Structure 1
Amino acid sequence: MPYFISSYKKSIDVFKAKVEESIYHKIAPLNIHAWVTEEPVDFKEKTMGKYISLNVGESWGKLWDCAWFNFTGTVPKAAAHKKVVLLIDISGEICIFDEDGCPNQGLTNVSSEFDLTLGKPGKRVVNFLEKACGGENIDLWADGGCNDLFGNYKDSGKIKEAHIALLKDEMRKLYYDIEVLQELMEQLPEDSSRHQSILFTLFHAFKVMKNYDKEEAKKAREILSAELNKNCGDESLSISAIGHAHIDLAWLWPIRETIRKGARTFSTVLSNMDRYPEYIFGASQPQLYAWIKERYPKLYRKIKVRIAEGRWEAQGGMWVEPDTNISGGEALIRQVLYGKMFFKKEFDKEMKTLWLPDVFGYTASLPQILKKSGLDYFMTIKLSWNEYNQFPHHTFMWEGIDGSKVLVHMPPEGTYNSSASPKAIKEAERNFKDKGVSQECLMLFGIGDGGGGPGEEHLERLEREKHLNGLVPVKQEPSLEFFKRIEKNMANYKTWSGELYLEKHQGTYTTQAKNKCFNRKMEFALRELEYVSVLAQIEGLRSYPQAEIETIWKEVLLYQFHDILPGSSIKRVYDESLERYEYLLKHTEKLIEDTYRALLEDCYCTNQVTPDFLLASKITPKTKAAGIINSLSWDREEWLMINGEWAKVKVPAMNHRVIQSSTLESTSFGVTAEDHCIENNLLKVSFNEDGSLKSVFDKEFQREALDTNFKANVLTPYEETYGNAWDFSPTCHDIPQDKFKLEYSESMVRGPKAIVKQIYTYHLSTIEQEIILTEGSRRIDFKTKVDWKESNRMLRTSFPVNVFTHEVSCDIQFGSIKRPTHDNTSWDMAKYEICAHKYVDLSQADYGVALLNDCKYGHRVKGNTINLNLLRSTDTPGAEADKGTHEFIYSLYPHGGDCIEGQVIQASYELNLPLRVVEFTGEFYFDRKKEALVRVDNESIMIETIKKAEHSDDIIIRLYECNGGTERVKLNFDHRVKDVQLVNLMEEPTDRSLFSRGNNELEFKPFEIITLKINCS
């Protein structure tokens, strides 16, 4: 006789739903009082807003409004001897505070948007009394935000729930018993004995439920215990689970809301730790901890206790979870430096793992940075988002451009918001690509984006799943313990070499161009500030402003967070960050200028000279002078405008030169400008009638640099069919597009510069360009000003070049990588947009052409065409992205030989860091030449950073090999350098022996970063 299997399963659905409905019984409403403000206020000022009294169903605010709520009431006498909870849902996020103003627990509206396949986001239950007497007063304060997890305005901001309720704890436990067993059953083959056994046991338990009271729930749980207590056998895979709450420091909400999201989440974690003794939680990002320490010191002290106990894992080695495509190399080092310093100082924890679950691809420079910072492990998830090719591993070794390797694990479930359910466990087991060589994987469970992390549902499931037959075993533990175990099997893991390219979100290389521009300017400004501050310290003129520099760096690092710098946040985030960037850059530049001026005046101004000296030196008293500063590690010669006159100035490496107006000599300039043509001694640039480039003839090498079958520098707006900050269609290049129309063109000579000025229009937008060719230079600069008013458009320019090669050289942090220019494979095709920093270069053995830039990152290089992404005006999530005025420079750079012989990297640095002119005035001037603090005799070695050491008055010098070769270099130090020590990126001594002071030689491996600590007298 057959069984009614489908009917049994429907009955079990009814069973679970009715049990869930029976868990809470509302017995009285709460009184609701609120004080509403537009921005958050502290606990001590909670009644300063607009007062309103509310009932359930009434709206309390608009999107992003804040309010302090006071929930009051009296526990009814009928609740005596029973467990009492409060049910609260304000259609937003809210945090319960204790009487001392410390966050106690976060709540999230049930209607919050979330991927429901990962669970329900709502947290609405406040545990109030374990055993009530009846008559107790309720007086609860809570800080609320009128937004859901993802910054949405839900249910018109109405109060959905505010009640006193009874909790039927046995019914609650029964619900999780049913849920786990039912979902396990659904993951097993229908004809398996385990599936059938669970089905009939669940149906048997259902049959005892009539009144849905406590006694029936106990009987049903006893029946189900037979299935829940069936332990798994000898499994070849185990899962390490750790609680997680991915919190974007800004995204669909402003930074100010992130701080409150942190308080809600962290207080919820601590509350659940009191209830679940096996619960292990982890959180990264010292910036978030620092905010909590500042704003919620009592909560922070509680966190420190749990960290000391080992229940809370401080994770990751970076200040924030940053973008790694666009952030500069030194910035990535500072992320680690400040991140590790914080965790060591605050929690006495030595970080070993980089924790970046949600970043949009990973630069091939990262493995070396990690290894030389003491970070041996790396955890991410994002590569599971690839659109065209499935990444082949979950546990593997990652090799960077210098050969450094780190151990990587990607949780195979492919999410950092795991539901910790049987389905999640089964999915991890099915997906794990390396289970043949590794017997362990990670699971990150909890609700992120301010959703409080793991809820009771996650922890209840895990209690039942530890050794449940039908599932691989799951245990909660810190991720570091997991990595230490799998490290022992490293010899068996495969190696992935080069970048970890994410086949998605390539639009983030360009979106929100002003933020990216400010980021580039700030990275170079901080480099300059640290360099000049070291010089001033050595001269005894000024103390090194270490605290101020660290503060500036940390704010810049915050804006490199992976949803700020890539351009994927809401408009308010950029309105606020641009205002701060503008201030930071202005302030940093003033510090640089003032410090250089103090140095120059100290070196060149004195009253202790004779009139004979002045006469012999042709130097006049009380006149202006200009100091020309070169902070790069090679000698430079450039045309500069000094005191209104042009001068061709040669400045030694890492040094300066002083020029007086009276000593400037007039000279002729070997450039010409005619209609449709500009020319210098090296290049002749011709233009088409529509303003595009027709030809770039290289007079030195007697060859054409452009592919003259096509026009170059055609300014093209592409329609954005996706319309979001992250992605654009790869087929847009196949669709005919309108072009900007040339409205005005003028040729002129301005000193040593031949210029064509052009004005273009398109719809409501205007582009002004000066195409500049300077005497003696191979750079053709496109100085560009765009008034961009388009919607859902992307602005690009392109240069078809007369070069044949299958690879493009791309500038990345501390080196370069080569990428294919063809679409031979699906992996090649997927790289339809690539990220590069200061240049990309197409070269044959004998000749090449590079495209340099001063603030752009998105490129497309296919065949012989270099295409640069300039702007993207999307409306999601940041409305009116890139609308407004932009100024930037990109430069075409034809050269002899390949990228190395053509010195492309040097040219790209010089575009981004032009010689600095500092004017100053004193009584008299005379030449007191200073030796550079350090010089190198090999142009393949870049001096990237000179700064004060973090924990001493020693000086840090960071160098790297830029061309991918093994190189020896001799370093020439200022005579005041007394001792040199090799250190790692954390400024700790290394075991590697340093060169002797006798010959000062050092050997670099390809793309190697070497850091020195020097002591000056």
Structure 2
Amino acid sequence: MTVQKTAHVISHSHWDREWYLPFEKHRVRLVELMDALIELLENDPEFRSFHLDGQTIVLEDYLQIRPDKQEIVTRMVREGKLHIGPWYILQDEFLTSSEANIRNLLIGHSDARKFGAISKLGYFPDSFGNMGQAPQILLQAGIDTAVFGRGVKPVGLNNEAKGDYESAFSEMNWQAPDGSAVLGILFANWYNNGMEIPVTPDESAAYWARKMADAEKYASSPHLLFMNGCDHQPVQTNLSEALRTARSLYPDVRFVHSNFDDYVAQVKAALPSNLSTIRGELRSQRTNGWWTLVNTASARVYLKQANQRVQTQLEKVAEPLAVFAMLTGHAYPEHLLAYAWKTLMQNHPHDSICGCSVDEVHREMMTRFDKSHQVAEQVAADSLQAIVSHIDTQAVFDPSSLPFTVFNTSGRARTGVVSIVLEVKRLPFAGGKRKQVIGELKELSLDGFVVKDASGNKRDAEVEDLGVTFGYELPKDRFRQPYMARSVRVNFLAQCVPGLGYRTFALCRDDSVSAAPDRPLPPAEGRRMENEYLTVTIADDGTYGIADKRNGGDFTGLGTYENVGDVGNEYIFRAPDGDVPLTTRGMPADIRVEEHTSFRTVIAIVHRWDIPASGDDTLAREIAEFVPFLERKAQRSERTVPLTITTRLTLEQGVPQLKVQTSLRNEAKDHRLRVLFPTQVHSPVHYADSVFEAAERETNPAPTWANPSNCQHMQTFVNVRDEVRGLTVSTLGLNEYEILRDGQGTIAVTLLRAVRELGDWGVFHTPEAQCLGEHTFEYVLIPHGTGQDIEQSYAAAYQAQIPWTAVQGSVQPGSLPAEHEFIRWSGDGLALSAVKRNGSSEDVTMRWFNMTKRPAQLRVEQVHGAGGALYRSNVLEEEGSGIGHGEWIAIRPAEIVTIGGKRP
């Protein structure tokens, strides 16, 4: 018996919010599309539905212009004519944090729910690779099917998959590292394989003969998918007529104007038993390597740095502090945080955060980053004031003291150098009293100040006089109050601050001799510095070595800079033919000790370099003539420009890691700058921080890989190791690395990539993608041994992303002690991802994931003031089974676990 084929035609438009046009110009076309679509849905009963690209922001953008359409849009969603969600935006999964991926799903669900229906489909049409934990995240959200456009090679024809990342069909099982699996459907013929269907019989016959053959090549069932639309595609208003023509030409084929709900249900009912199983990340590992688009991770690095700064401020500072304040009785600013998240996420679409759009797009992004960060900073500041107002400092400090509290929101106890500006004295001023106030403050003596902890122990500190500074208060009940203050900056070593809590210190008058620190740093000897864990030695050419006193591990020759030409584009790096990398290896460097105290040493290394100024004249001509980047013959120019690189190495007492800061002024174009860390570790695999996992990746690409470069994404860190030792490199907003196939196990981290065009389907000049001007890059080197040392290095890498938070208080009575932990938990191998309030209740939400491939256990020992029950939850933060306080919870390898805590 012959099974009738069904052609499922799904109307859609893949809506890049901003790309080759800035946002508002794209939005004008969105309004035109939506107006036409609504009219069509109202007047053509055969045009059944439209898929709104899996993102609710499309409606948000439309209704901001056309609020009069709110009622009709809501009705059409409820009637199943418009399919929306489950995401807020279509993000780049690898360049947005783990939590950002979850918040995207949460906000998408919340917004779609207001319209009355949510599309429960994991929709990733154009992501530049797919996160390995997507199946687990989707299943926790009640979604069992994912549709995506990249990452897997479909085999077709004989339907026999031969590799781990090949699929026999466009349908497959997709399994996350924890074992969770969903049905995966690949757009094997892309998401435009049913666009612009002809109406006339002759054109229709030729069209469908070609399209049906292409779809049948990969389909595992008689249900064939045809996506009727493409990027910013206007709705096909004559589709019903086109389908009537197709039915008349192919009576043995059932042509349906379909939707994903119906299509997926019918595919599931007809799936064969021999589907391939694809595991983990989908990054096009079994291709020639040219079209993974991974080099968007290094396009416009300034965007990635801003994104890391704002994400961290929201996730790891503002939200935990707001929870701490809530646990002391203050209101949680859910509305402000939701606004900050939405504003940030408007920068997370793949063509936005990837840095592969026109210059106007990325200028607007920087404004959005600033807006989101400003809200997050204010939420954090208000929360800090709320918390410190409850801290009892009167019991431990003299009335003349200046108390200040250091908060740790990283989840694990922490030691490090903290810097805070304190007002020693402030005086209000008005009218003609300015000179008198400033004079009085200038005469104030700052002699004899020391830092003490709550037990009265002196802490070694630097106190820097900042002179007289202006400030103001904005009282809740009266007009602004300006003042002048005598201020100091205090730098000191804060030791063992609780993981989700604080320690309080004070700047005190004390004329006695200051106590020596517990373990002062040995003297810096020009090119050598050390603490109790590491010894760092610097060579003549500015490379440095790290000797690990704990296990004898030794890494040498670290920190060489490498520069090559780039004749590619914002999407893809390509070096000119025959280009020989320039490096600072062997180049004399200026080396000096910049700072040395008992708790911190800083050594500066300066390289003065000349590099080619740009690509040659051929590159401009080739771009203008739309010569494909793989066919370009351009070279680097003979003219050079100076590149001065200043590297600062910082070693702190009690901290087993080396902090590195690289600063430079880029005057060159069409090039890439990387920093190299040869490890002499030889392993076929390495590990990179990805979304909710430390992903294991092969160091050597597949035999099909033709691209000389094998760059890859990372979120926070990359790690190489063998049976004896390893090195973890943690970066702040540097998302591209490569493990070089140089026999030295070298980790190469991209600092800057400068190009002059967008690339892709046309000629779009992007001069601002050359990233000219001042840049500062930060990263941390963490050597480690074996066993739990590995996970501890990961935990340190995550912690290095999070800034210290400190705030001045006053001497006062209070209900909180001078040192406190609001939430106490334990669990080896686990990483804390979030501490926030549940978006739909007053419950505290906490999220972790298992960094390891072995089972783990989690115990939540204390939640301040929350005597209510604990319960298992999911990524949608829905209440599940109860958990006892202090109960050990079994965690699967690579599992994401969310715990809710009710408030009494």
With normalisation by structure 1, the TM-score equals 0.70
Contact 1:411–1:443 (CA under 8 A) maintained in structure 2: no
Q: State the shift of 1:665 in Å.
A: 4.4
Contact 1:671–1:754 (CA under 8 A) maintained in structure 2: no
Q: State the shift of 1:702 in Å.
A: 2.5
Matched, 1:268 2:39: no
Work out the CA distance in 2 between the residues paired with 1:1011 and 1:830: 42
Contact 2:872–2:883 (CA under 8 A) maintained in structure 1: no
Q: State the shift of 1:594 in Å.
A: 2.9
The residue type paired with residue 503 of structure 2 is: R
The residue type paired with residue 516 of structure 1 is: K
The residue type paired with residue 657 of structure 2 is: R
Equivalences for 1:810-849 in 2 at 5 Å? 810-823=688-701, 825-826=703-704, 832-849=710-727
Contact 1:259–1:288 (CA under 8 A) maintained in structure 2: no
Please point out which of 881, 888, 896 is paired with 2:785: 896
Matched, 1:563 2:563: no
Equivalences for 1:950-961 in 2 at 5 Å? 950-961=839-850
Equivalences for 1:960-975 in 2 at 5 Å? 960-974=849-863
Q: Which residue of 1 aligns with 2:562?
A: 716
Q: State the shift of 1:916 in Å.
A: 2.1
Q: Which residue of 1 aligns with 2:633?
A: none
Contact 1:847–1:898 (CA under 8 A) maintained in structure 2: no
Q: State the shift of 1:853 in Å.
A: 0.7
Q: State the shift of 1:312 in Å.
A: 2.8
Deviation string, structure 1 residues 369-421 (Cα, Å, up to 9, x no partner) = 11111222212223479999976541111111211112121233223363335
Work out the CA distance in 2 between the residues paired with 1:908 and 1:750: 24
Contact 1:780–1:891 (CA under 8 A) maintained in structure 2: yes
Contact 1:425–1:471 (CA under 8 A) maintained in structure 2: no
Q: State the shift of 1:323 in Å.
A: 0.5
Matched, 1:395 2:171: yes
Q: State the shift of 1:442 in Å.
A: 1.7
Equivalences for 1:863-902 in 2 at 5 Å? 863=741, 864-877=745-758, 878-881=766-769, 882-897=771-786, 901=790
Q: State the shift of 1:914 in Å.
A: 3.6
Q: Which moved more, 1:817-826 or 1:894-903?
A: 894-903
Q: Which moved more, 1:434-443 or 1:800-809?
A: 434-443
Please point out which of 365, 369, 381 is paired with 1:581: 369
Q: State the shift of 1:329 in Å.
A: 0.8
Contact 1:823–1:829 (CA under 8 A) maintained in structure 2: no
Contact 2:178–2:894 (CA under 8 A) maintained in structure 1: yes
Matched, 1:301 2:71: yes
Please point out which of 276, 281, 291 is paired with 2:50: 281
Please point out which of 14, 19, 27 is paired with 1:259: 27
Matched, 1:344 2:113: yes
Q: Which residue of 2 aligns with 1:623?
A: 401
Work out the CA distance in 2 between the residues paired with 1:1010 and 1:674: 48
Work out the CA distance in 2 between the residues paired with 1:365 and 1:916: 31
Work out the CA distance in 2 between the residues paired with 1:404 and 1:794: 39
Work out the CA distance in 1 between the residues paired with 2:223 and 2:522: 68
Shift in CA distance, 238/899, structure 1 to aligned 2, threshold 3 Å: farther
Identity over the aligned pairs, expressed in percent? 19
Identify unmatched segments of 5+ residues in structure 1: 1-232, 607-613
Shift in CA distance, 973/384, structure 1 to aligned 2, threshold 3 Å: closer
SS in 2 for 1:897: coil
Please point out which of 285, 291, 309 is paired with 2:61: 291
Contact 2:83–2:119 (CA under 8 A) maintained in structure 1: no
Equivalences for 1:59-208 in 2 at 5 Å? none
Work out the CA distance in 1 between the residues paired with 2:376 and 2:493: 27
Matched, 1:500 2:277: no
The residue type paired with residue 446 of structure 1 is: G
Deviation string, structure 1 residues 861-903 (Cα, Å, up to 9, x no partner) = 1341111111111122332212232222112221111575451
Matched, 1:419 2:207: no
Q: Which residue of 2 aligns with 1:145?
A: none
Contact 1:243–1:445 (CA under 8 A) maintained in structure 2: yes
Deviation string, structure 1 residues 206-242 (Cα, Å, up to 9, x no partner) = xxxxxxxxxxxxxxxxxxxxxxxxxxx9555422111
Contact 1:507–1:728 (CA under 8 A) maintained in structure 2: yes
Work out the CA distance in 2 between the residues paired with 1:739 and 1:749: 24
Contact 2:414–2:499 (CA under 8 A) maintained in structure 1: yes
Work out the CA distance in 1 between the residues paired with 2:122 and 2:41: 25
Shift in CA distance, 657/842, structure 1 to aligned 2, threshold 3 Å: same
SS in 2 for 1:965: coil
Work out the CA distance in 2 between the residues paired with 1:925 and 1:343: 44
Matched, 1:485 2:375: no
Contact 2:171–2:219 (CA under 8 A) maintained in structure 1: no
SS in 2 for 1:487: helix
Contact 1:352–1:374 (CA under 8 A) maintained in structure 2: yes
Q: Which residue of 2 aligns with 1:33?
A: none
Shift in CA distance, 436/927, structure 1 to aligned 2, threshold 3 Å: closer
Work out the CA distance in 1 between the residues paired with 2:603 and 2:207: 62
Please point out which of 532, 538, 544 is paired with 2:327: 538
Q: Which moved more, 1:280-289 or 1:319-328?
A: 280-289
Q: Which moved more, 1:820-829 or 1:276-285?
A: 820-829
Contact 1:283–1:313 (CA under 8 A) maintained in structure 2: yes
Matched, 1:655 2:501: yes
Please point out which of 882, 906, 911 is paired with 2:800: 911
The residue type paired with residue 781 of structure 1 is: K
Matched, 1:1015 2:783: no
For these two proteins, the number of residue pairs brought into alignment is 761
Q: State the shift of 1:859 in Å.
A: 0.8
SS in 1 for 2:832: strand
The residue type paired with residue 774 of structure 1 is: E
SS in 2 for 1:705: strand
Shift in CA distance, 1013/806, structure 1 to aligned 2, threshold 3 Å: same
Q: State the shift of 1:482 in Å.
A: 0.7
Deviation string, structure 1 residues 901-956 (Cα, Å, up to 9, x no partner) = 45121111221014322222335689725653432222322332121112221221
Contact 1:848–1:899 (CA under 8 A) maintained in structure 2: no
SS in 2 for 1:401: coil
Matched, 1:766 2:654: no
Shift in CA distance, 483/257, structure 1 to aligned 2, threshold 3 Å: same
Q: State the shift of 1:829 in Å.
A: 7.2
SS in 2 for 1:367: helix
Q: Which residue of 1 aligns with 2:883?
A: 995
Equivalences for 1:632-781 in 2 at 5 Å? 632-641=410-419, 643-662=489-508, 665-667=515-517, 669-693=520-544, 695-706=545-556, 711-722=557-568, 724-729=569-574, 735-737=580-582, 739=584, 744-751=590-597, 752-760=599-607, 761-762=609-610, 763-781=641-659
SS in 1 for 2:799: helix
Shift in CA distance, 700/957, structure 1 to aligned 2, threshold 3 Å: closer
Contact 1:844–1:898 (CA under 8 A) maintained in structure 2: no
Work out the CA distance in 1 between the residues paired with 2:522 and 2:814: 34
Q: Which residue of 2 aligns with 1:448?
A: 231
Work out the CA distance in 2 between the residues paired with 1:351 and 1:748: 58
SS in 1 for 2:602: strand
Work out the CA distance in 2 between the residues paired with 1:354 and 1:1010: 20
Identify unmatched segments of 5+ residues in structure 2: 156-162, 199-203, 285-290, 421-488, 611-640, 759-765
- Root-mean-square deviation over aligned CA pairs: 2.9
Matched, 1:312 2:82: yes
Please point out which of 520, 526, 531 is paired with 2:314: 526
Matched, 1:934 2:823: yes
Contact 2:415–2:493 (CA under 8 A) maintained in structure 1: no
Deviation string, structure 1 residues 24-43 (Cα, Å, up to 9, x no partner) = xxxxxxxxxxxxxxxxxxxx
The residue type paired with residue 753 of structure 1 is: R
Work out the CA distance in 2 between the residues paired with 1:631 and 1:899: 22
Q: Which moved more, 1:918-927 or 1:549-558?
A: 918-927
Work out the CA distance in 1 between the residues paired with 2:787 and 2:704: 28
SS in 1 for 2:107: helix
The residue type paired with residue 636 of structure 1 is: R
